[in-house]
Amino acid sequence: MSWFQDHPDIRVTLMVYNRKDSGAKMRADKFGVPAMYLPNADFISETGKASEALNAFEIDFILLAGFLALLPGWLVSRFRDRILNIHPALLPDFGGKGMFGRNVHGAVKKSGITETGMSIHLVNEKYDEGKILFQATCPVWESDSETDIATRVLKLEHLHYPLVAEQFILSKS
C-alpha cells in the first residue's frame, strides 16, 4: 500500500483480507487505508458484503496478493481485465489450485529446474490461467531450501508488482 501512498493518479481506497491472521489489517492501518475482513463466504453472492464494499468504496481495480481463494464468476465478470494477481512461480508451470507458498516452492525444488521466478497475470475464472502480463526470473541452486527459493522470489515480487500494477492501471485509466 505504500506503493501508491503519494501517487498523483492512483489511490488505494480499501484493503480486503480473507484470513483473520493476515498482516493486512496492520499494514492498512499503518498507511491510513480502510481495511475490511471478508471471509470467502462473503464473496459468493453478487449481492453480498463483498459487492457492497466494492460499491461503497467505488473500486475500479483489484490487486491480489496472498488471496488464495478462487474469485467467483460475478466478480471476475464485473472487473474483467481489471484484476491483477501475483504468483510466486513462472506460469503456466507450477500454477493452479493448491500452488501457493511452500507448496509451489517445494514443487519447484522437487522438479530440479534451475530457474524460477514470479508472474503477474490477469485473473479469470480459473486458478492462475489469466493472461500473463509480466514475469521475472531468479536462479534455483541445488543447495537451495524452499525458504531460500521463497526469499528470492519474494524480492522479485516486491520489486516488480508495484511497477507493473502502476503501468497497468494508468494504461486503463
All cell numbers assigned to 147: 525458504
Domain tally, the chain: 2
Kindly state whether residues 110 and 45 are assigned to the same domain.
Answer: no
pLDDT recorded at residue 68:
85
Q: What is the pLDDT of residues 42-52, one digit of tens each?
A: 998 999 999 99
Question: Reduced to 3 states, what is the DSSP secondary structure of residue 124?
Answer: coil
Q: How far is CA 169 from the centre of its chain?
A: 15
For residue 137, is pLDDT > 70?
Answer: yes
pLDDT of residue 2: 65
Same domain, 55 and 66: no
> Are 121 and 136 members of one domain?
yes
Range of the domain at 43: 1-59
Confidence of residue 38 (pLDDT cuts 50, 70, 90): very high
Q: What contacts 69, CB < 8 A, 6 or more positions away? A: 18, 40, 43
1 pLDDT higher than 70: no
Cβ atoms 135, 149 nearer than 8 A: no
Beta carbons of 128 and 99 less than 8 angstroms apart: yes
Q: Are residues 118 and 90 in the same domain?
A: yes
The CA-atom distances, in angstroms, between 20 and each of 12, 78, 87, 128 are 21, 26, 21, 24
List, for residues 99-130, the tens digit of each pLDDT value: 998 999 999 999 999 999 999 999 999 999 99
Q: Are residues 41 and 103 in the same domain?
A: no
- Size of the chain in residues: 173
Q: What is the pTM of this model?
A: 0.94
Q: What is the pLDDT of residue 130?
A: 97
Supply the residues annotated as catalytic.
Answer: 87
Clarify whether residues 153 and 112 are in a common domain. Answer: yes
- SS3 of residue 144 by DSSP: coil
Mean pLDDT comparison of 21-30, 59-68, 129-138, highest-scoring range: 129-138
